[in-house]
Amino acid sequence: MKKITRVVLIMGMIAGLSPFINTVAAQQKGEPFDDVDASWQNGNDRRDSSVFKNMQYFMPSILIDVNYTHSFNNPNDNTVIGSTALARNNEVQLSALHFGGDFNYKGARARFMAQFGTRSIIVPRNDYSPYRGQYQLANVYRYLSEAYAGYHIDKWYGINIDAGMFMSYIGLNSYYQAENWEYQASFTSDNTPWFFNGVRIQIFPAKHLKIEPWIINGWQSYGKFNSMPGIGGNISWMPNSNFKVLTNNYYGTDAAGIPQRKRFHSDNSVLLRYHNKPSSNGISRMAFSLTGDIGFEKGGGVNGFKNGDSAQGPAQYFLSAMLYNRVWFAKNKFAWTIGGGVMTNPGRYLVLYPTGQASPLPDPNNPTQTEGAFPFSAAPGDKFTGWDYSTNADWMPNQSITFRREYVHRASNVPYFAGRGGVTSQTGYSTTPLDPNWRPDLVKSESRIIMAILFRL
C-alpha cells in the first residue's frame, strides 16, 4: 500500500511539474541561431542587443550612412561610376537614411525600412522592369529598402512566410553599410542583387540551419521582364559561433522582351573566425570571408559558357570571387580590413552601366541600351573584366557607430570609370548644351579614398 501511495505521489508531482518542464524545454529549444555569435560576420548586424528595451510588439531600427569620397581621377562633374554605395565625388553626401522596424503579434509579422538619400536613386536606376507598363514602379518603391508582411508558424524551429520586398543574400554583403567590413563592395557584391520583390519562405528545420525558397518578380527588379517569375533560394548553416557557410541559387528570365533567354546564378560563401579573445587589448578577433559566384545566360541569341554558331550566339556568363580578412583590436574597438576581388562578365548583363548625358531616356524596346546619349554597350559578346582591392581602418567606440576610412583601387579591361572630363557634359553640368565632339571621359582604372560615418540604433 505504501508503494502504491509513493507511486501516486510521484506521478502527482510529475503532473504538477509538467508545465514547468515544458517551459524549460521550450527555453532550451529557443530561437534558431540564438546561441550563435554572428556579430563578427561580414554582412551581419554587429550589435549584440538593441537599445530599445521591453518593446513587445514593435522593435524600431534607425540607420544613417554619411560619406565623403575623393577620386584621384577628379571628374569635373563629381559623378561616381560603377558603384551602388557612392554617388558623388568630393562632396559630403547622405548616402542613406533608413528607419522602420519589426512588428510581431500572435504569429503575424511585418517589417518595413524607409530609404532616403543617394541610394534611393543609384540602386533603382539599375532596374529596367519599370519601363514595362505604367505607374512608374521605380518611384513607387524608391523610398523603401524593405517592406513585407507574413506569418510565423511554430513548427520545428520556426517557419516564416513573407511577401513583399526583402533583402537579397546574393553577394554576401548587406545592403546596410553598417553591417559590412568594407564600404565600397567588390565587383561580386556590387553587381548582384540588393533586393527581391516577391514571396519567400524561411524554414528552420534545425537550430543551426535555414532553408529559404523564393518566388520573385526577377533579378533585383520591381516588376517582371517577361511572363516567368524568378525562382531560387538560400541555404545557410552555422554550426557554431566561428563558422558559416551559405549558398544562393537563382533561375529566371531577366532580359526585357526576350523570354527565350534564361539566367542561372549560383553564389556561395564561407566565413571563418579563427581567433577570438574579446577581452584582449591587443588582437581581439580575426576572421575572413570568401565568396565565389558562377552564372550564365542561354537562349535568345546567347550561349552560356561556349561561343556558338550564328544562331546560338556568343558566350554570356558571370564568374567572380572576393576575399576579405579582418582583424579587430583593443576589445573590438578598432578593426583593419584588407581584401578584393575579380569579375568577368561577357555580355555585360550584370555590369553596372555608366551613365551618360541624362537625355534621351533609354528605349524600353531595346534591352541593351542604357541611360544617356552615349550608352555603354551591353551587346552579346561584349567583354568585361574587372578587379579591385581595398583596405580600411575602423574605429567603433560603441556598437551603434563606426568611423571608417578606406582606400579603394578598381580597374577594368575596357574604359569604364569616370575620368577627368566626367560623364555629363564638357562643363560637368547637365544643363550645358553638348559640344558635338564631346564624349563621356571613361578610363580603365580609378583610386579613391572614402571616409564614412555609419550610425545604427
Nearest to 129 by CA among 177, 198, 184: 198
pLDDT at residue 13, as a whole number: 40
pLDDT at residue 357, as a whole number: 35
* Residue 457: Cβ within 10 Å count: 15
* d(C-alpha 299, C-alpha 263), whole Å: 9
Which three three-digit cell numbers place residue 255?
A: 532580359
Q: What's the number of CA atoms in the CB half-sphere (13 Å) around residue 258?
A: 18
* d(C-alpha 73, C-alpha 392), whole Å: 20
Provide mean pLDDT across the span 111-117: 96
In this structure, the chain runs to a length of 457
By three-state DSSP, how is residue 23 classified?
Answer: helix
For the stretch 44-95, pLDDT in tens is 999 988 888 778 899 999 999 999 999 999 999 999 999 999 999 999 999 9
Provide mean pLDDT across the span 260-265: 96
Q: What is the DSSP letter of 424?
A: S
Contact 291, 322 (CB under 8 A): yes
* pLDDT category of residue 367 using cuts at 50, 70 and 90: very low
Position 263, amino acid: R
Provide mean pLDDT across the span 18-29: 42
For the stretch 279-290, pLDDT in tens is 999 999 999 999
Which three three-digit cell numbers place residue 324?
A: 576579405
Sign of CA dihedral 441, 445, 451, 454: positive
- Average pLDDT over all residues of the chain: 88
* Residue 80: Cβ within 10 Å count: 23
C-alpha distances in Å from residue 45, one per residue of 92, 152, 183, 248: 25, 22, 15, 20
Share of the chain above pLDDT 90, in %: 72
* pLDDT category of residue 371 using cuts at 50, 70 and 90: low
What domains can you pick out in the chain, each with its CATH number?
168-446 (2.40.160)
> 219-228, 261-270, 284-293 — which is least confidently predicted?
219-228
Provide mean pLDDT across the span 263-269: 97
* pLDDT category of residue 29 using cuts at 50, 70 and 90: low
Provide mean pLDDT across the span 127-132: 84
> What phi and psi, each to the nearest 5 degrees, are found at residue 406?
-140, 140
Q: What is the DSSP letter of 416?
A: -
pLDDT at residue 117, as a whole number: 95
Provide mean pLDDT across the span 212-235: 94
For the stretch 4-13, pLDDT in tens is 444 333 344 4
| Helix/strand/coil percentages in the chain, nearest 5 | 10, 45, 45
pLDDT at residue 216, as a whole number: 97
Which three three-digit cell numbers place residue 287?
A: 576572421
Phi/psi class of residue 62: alpha, beta or left (left: φ > 0; alpha: ψ in -120 to 50)? beta
For the chain, counts of helices (H) and of strands (E): 4, 18
pLDDT at residue 18, as a whole number: 41
pLDDT at residue 51, as a whole number: 84
Provide mean pLDDT across the span 254-277: 95
Provide mean pLDDT across the span 393-421: 96
C-alpha distances in Å from residue 428, one per residue of 76, 434, 448, 449: 5, 10, 19, 21
* d(C-alpha 133, C-alpha 391), whole Å: 44
DSSP string computed for 153-212: E-STT-EEEEEEEEE--TTSS-SSGGG-S-SS--HHHHTS-SEEEEEEEEEEEETTEEEE
* pLDDT category of residue 404 using cuts at 50, 70 and 90: very high
pLDDT at 123 over 90: no
Which three three-digit cell numbers place residue 46?
A: 554587429
* pLDDT category of residue 415 using cuts at 50, 70 and 90: very high
pLDDT at residue 372, as a whole number: 59
* pLDDT category of residue 434 using cuts at 50, 70 and 90: confident
Provide mean pLDDT across the span 176-203: 95
Nearest to 241 by CA among 438, 457, 35: 35
